[in-house]
Structure 1
Amino acid sequence: MSSAAVSRADPNRNVVLAMLLVVYIFNFIDRQILSILAAPIQADLDLSDGQMGLLGGISFALLYSTMAVPLAALADRTSRSWVIAVSLAAWSGFTALCGLAQNFWHIFLARLGVGIGEAGGVAPSYALIGDYFPSKQRATALSIYSLGIPIGSGLGVLMGGYIAATVDWRAAFFAVGLTGVVIVPVFKLLVRDRAKPKVAADNPAPLPQTPTLKETAAVLARKKSFWFLAFGAATSSMLGYGIAFWLPSLLIRSFGFDLVGASQFFGAILLLGGVVGVLAGGLLADRLGGRDRAFYAWLPGVAFFLGAPLFAAGITSSDWKLAFVLFLLPQALAYIWLGPVLSAVQHLVVPAARSTASALFLLINNLIGLGGGIYALGALSDFLAPIYGDEALRYSMLYALALYGLAALLMAFAGPSLRKDWVDE
């Protein structure tokens, strides 16, 4: 029986998807909470924009990106669900430790630990979804899973802002970190790996072995579509992660919001725009990609092209009500790429190598996008401060919008390559 047929018949797949979504929500709560807490952390620990950029970017992304590859290879060869469960416990614990930080290096090291923990969560989850859902439904399933990004980011901003305003920023880290630890046994109880297929009695031919990390990397290296997708996503993520981290600070500095007001404004944008964008991307990709696989890349490219001028209009606006609408639309467009691109990467290798392929994609996307984008916007803001003063962060974001043009171009090139690089199941 084909893997697709087995996936369609599995009654447990929706429970698995729901629990993976819950874990991913906590992944992004723990990741995004730092952005809304940036202002009180900077005031308490006397940190510059550049240092905050390091905390939100390199300190997290360095080990998050690199450790994801061996952890994904381990998940492919052992148990994907166990790797995710242990990772959830690790990153939640380190998130709680962020609340004990007394200086830059304390919180920097704690964020390194969060990155190590989260390294084992995403790629094995992509692979589990690939195991449970057939190809024609996979972009939609991955989009539902990717709702963890806007929901987790939105909740992190809303919860972090409220707790920091009513208690302090340290309590916010304690609350979300310890809650994540409590989820671990529930996840492990409900989520298990798909049983590996057995050799049929009337067909004793041995099953193919799981490709090694080196073999999977070699396969991907020969496919142009992988490089276009990876660098296109990474370029867009530099801007996406940068805006997601620094927009609360922009709202406080340039729009006059207090901490709670900024968290409500940005949280609503993330939840409303993000949820619509993620779901639309998956549904459109499964519909259009069935006709032409190039649309798995072209759809995100169009979204990036349309999103840049809308973001520019929001950044330069002086009225917060107008800015809300202008930020809401491109926020939806910014999330469209997740379902199509993640699904396409799953189809560049054989099913047994999905975790490893996803991790290699995330290595490029996160090391460049997450590691570079947040720091680059913060450092550019510091550089522009003598010219623009308190408006330096606004202009830093504005100049960075050129990254969406480059991302759109790379996705345009990825489309034709996908047609020949696609691996059918």
Structure 2
Amino acid sequence: MMTTRRLSAMPGSHAWFVLGMLCFVYVLNFLDRQLLSILAKPIQDSLHISDGQLGLIGGLYFALFYCFISIPVGWFADRTNRVNVVSFACVLWSLATMACGMAATYPQLLLARMTVGVGEAGGVPPSYAIISDYFPAGRRGTALGLYNLGPPIGAALGIAFGASIAAAFSWRYAFVVLGAAGVITAIVFKLTVHEPIRGGLDRASASPLIGEVASGFVETLKMFFSRPALVLAALGSGVTQIITYGLGNFTILFLMREKGMTLGQVALYNSLIFGIGMSAGIFASGWLIDRYTRRYKQAYALLPAVSLALAIPFYIGFVWTPTWPLALLLLIGPTFLNYFYLSSSVALVQEEVRPDQRVMSGALLLLVMNLIGLGFGPTYVGAASDYFRAAYPDHSLQMALYTLVPFYFLAIFLFLWLARVLRRDGRPTPNGGIAS
């Protein structure tokens, strides 16, 4: 029988430890996911696959499993021990990552990558809810911003270790070694992290009762898609992810094939760019959210809109410049500015819904974001590159990446629309957020 005891409003040392563990699991989540794009060139050379096939396996096929599995996983996690769900998910995607390194054909690699997607579907949504039950409103933007450092750190470590292992031995060893690290981490996570009280830190008229009946699947589904602010946050984030995933899945292949970088140079320079640039952007966005949303609710939307507008000239310059040193310098701009949307949208959704709806609401946010961004972005860029190859045999990826520019403007439009909704309807919610 669960108690009605509230957790302390101020996060203690254990809360920060849990946040650190969740962030590290997220690092491995994103690291394993990004290995395919990091090692695209040697994988293509070994398995003889095209840009289009690479885009499908890293985009649409992966997204279909990752997105739709996340919904039942979110519903299940809202009713069970979320720590157990994260632990099992980490084991599953790590074993599947090891299987990627053993693939001898494209179908075998495809099957292993789909299994990675199934496992990773159980990692992020429960983690959002766990963090929201360890950190109170007003501190969640910073906490979620720190948690969302997982992707840049994972990308940086994946580039550094994955490319280094592949350069020294084989791309296959990189998958096996880094997958094994995930299995060990899952065991440590299970032994050291404890399930928090659901809603224990939320301001409400009555004390949060853990024994209350959780919202039904259909109820949460209807709630999410009936709220304009939540839907616009998801759509704006999804269109932004067309850019981030479309670019991210082909950046290293683009730099190696069309700008002349080597795996050794990638391991050193790209890891620094992604590790520092993306981390700084995500951390800065979390800090700015907590600072400005206390007074201006529309800051949840204006921060991503402004950052994306500032990123456009840097992105065009990165794609255009003929030398990789200047390309890397210009890449710092999009790497820093493209990810302000993430902490904004996650914090908005977690603030806007009831504690018993958080995991599934986070899963629904990821469903929309990833179906649009992860599903379409890499698939589109890979197909566009194959299309341009006949006319631009040496610069097909460059032409494909140019076509991502209009998506910047579409994302900015959606976030400005969201800002208008938040400004128009700004009633306080029980969780300290805003109603839409």
Distance in 1 (CA, whole Å) between partners of 2:252 and 2:210 is 56
CA deviation profile, 1:376-396 (whole Å, cap 9, x unmatched): 101000001111111010111
Distance in 2 (CA, whole Å) between partners of 1:355 and 1:128 is 9
Gaps of 5+ in 1: none
The aligned counterpart of 1:353 is 357
Gaps of 5+ in 2: 201-205, 432-436
Give the root-mean-square deviation of aligned CA atoms: 2.1
CA deviation profile, 1:206-261 (whole Å, cap 9, x unmatched): 96421112111111111111111111100010110111110101111221111221
Are residue 293 (structure 1) and residue 297 (structure 2) matched?
yes
Distance in 2 (CA, whole Å) between partners of 1:418 and 1:11 is 34
Shift of 1:415: 1.6
The aligned counterpart of 2:125 is 123
Shift of 1:362: 0.3
Distance in 2 (CA, whole Å) between partners of 1:181 and 1:414 is 40
Given residue 235 of structure 1, which amino acid in structure 2 is its aligned partner? V
Shift of 1:203: 9.3
Shift of 1:195: 3.0
Distance in 2 (CA, whole Å) between partners of 1:306 and 1:16 is 34
Inter-CA distance 257–197: structure 2 relative to 1 (3 Å threshold):
closer
Distance in 2 (CA, whole Å) between partners of 1:332 and 1:213 is 36
Distance in 2 (CA, whole Å) between partners of 1:304 and 1:359 is 24
Match of 2:220 among 216, 222, 225: 216
Shift of 1:4: 8.5
Q: Is the 1:157–1:267 contact (alpha carbons within 8 Å) kept by the matching residues of 2?
A: yes
Distance in 2 (CA, whole Å) between partners of 1:191 and 1:53 is 36
Distance in 2 (CA, whole Å) between partners of 1:23 and 1:364 is 23
Distance in 2 (CA, whole Å) between partners of 1:249 and 1:174 is 21
Given residue 239 of structure 2, which amino acid in structure 1 is its aligned partner? T
Are residue 423 (structure 1) and residue 429 (structure 2) matched?
yes
Query: SS of 1:390's equivalent?
Result: coil
Are residue 65 (structure 1) and residue 67 (structure 2) matched?
yes
Shift of 1:351: 1.4
Q: Is the 1:4–1:133 contact (alpha carbons within 8 Å) kept by the matching residues of 2?
A: no
The aligned counterpart of 1:94 is 96
Distance in 2 (CA, whole Å) between partners of 1:262 and 1:141 is 31
Inter-CA distance 175–417: structure 2 relative to 1 (3 Å threshold):
same
Inter-CA distance 205–231: structure 2 relative to 1 (3 Å threshold):
closer
Given residue 257 of structure 2, which amino acid in structure 1 is its aligned partner? R
Q: Is the 1:247–1:266 contact (alpha carbons within 8 Å) kept by the matching residues of 2?
A: no
Inter-CA distance 69–3: structure 2 relative to 1 (3 Å threshold):
farther
Distance in 2 (CA, whole Å) between partners of 1:203 and 1:341 is 27
Q: Is the 2:125–2:362 contact (alpha carbons within 8 Å) kept by the matching residues of 1?
A: yes
The aligned counterpart of 1:149 is 151
Distance in 2 (CA, whole Å) between partners of 1:96 and 1:18 is 24
Q: Is the 1:150–1:274 contact (alpha carbons within 8 Å) kept by the matching residues of 2?
A: yes
Say which is worse superposed, 116-125 or 411-420, in terms of deviation: 411-420
Query: SS of 2:297's equivalent?
Result: coil
Query: SS of 2:275's equivalent?
Result: helix
Q: Is the 2:26–2:151 contact (alpha carbons within 8 Å) kept by the matching residues of 1?
A: yes
Say which is worse superposed, 343-352 or 108-117, in terms of deviation: 343-352
Are residue 8 (structure 1) and residue 10 (structure 2) matched?
yes
Given residue 263 of structure 1, which amino acid in structure 2 is its aligned partner? A
Question: After superposition, where does 1:382-393 map in structure 2 within 5 Å?
Answer: 382-393=386-397
Shift of 1:59: 2.5
The aligned counterpart of 1:166 is 168
Structure that is richer in helix per residue:
1
The aligned counterpart of 1:53 is 55
Question: After superposition, where does 1:246-261 map in structure 2 within 5 Å?
Answer: 246-261=250-265
Percent of aligned positions that are identical: 37
Inter-CA distance 76–10: structure 2 relative to 1 (3 Å threshold):
farther
Question: After superposition, where does 1:404-423 map in structure 2 within 5 Å?
Answer: 404-418=408-422, 420=425, 423=429
Query: SS of 2:392's equivalent?
Result: helix
Q: If the length of structure 1 is used for normalisation, what is the TM-score? A: 0.95
Shift of 1:3: 9.3
The aligned counterpart of 1:398 is 402
| Count of residue pairs the alignment pairs up | 422
Distance in 2 (CA, whole Å) between partners of 1:56 and 1:416 is 35
The aligned counterpart of 1:371 is 375
Q: Is the 2:303–2:341 contact (alpha carbons within 8 Å) kept by the matching residues of 1?
A: yes
Q: If the length of structure 2 is used for normalisation, what is the TM-score? A: 0.93
